[in-house]
Amino acid sequence: MALLETEGAKAIAAGIAILGGALGTGLAQSAIGSSAMGVIAEKPEQATRLLIWLAIPESILIFGFIVALLING
């Protein structure tokens, strides 16, 4: 239990927050990315527009980042 009272525990928690966010973002982006590739194969002019869609799940990582900052703050 002493571990949980140390700065190290905070760092681990912050790491988990970022890791969870990153995994969630990665999973969502992998689905969007593969679908986007399908669209680009048929309509290459949509490529730039799809970049915005690809950026949507990055919010999850941003939330992880905020949580990590709050834990360390």
Using the Cα atoms of residue 44, residue 45, residue 48 and residue 49 in order, give the sign of their dihedral.
negative
CB of 2 to another protein, least distance (A): 27
CB of 45 to another protein, least distance (A): 8
- Rounded CA-CA distance 72/69 in Å is 5
Instruction: Catalog residues that contact another protein under the rule CB under 8 A.
Output: 48-49, 51-52, 55-56, 58-59, 61-63, 65-66, 69, 73
The C-alpha angle with vertex 67 and arms to 5 and 65, in degrees rounded to 5, equals 125
Decide whether 16 or 54 has the Cβ nearer to another protein. 54
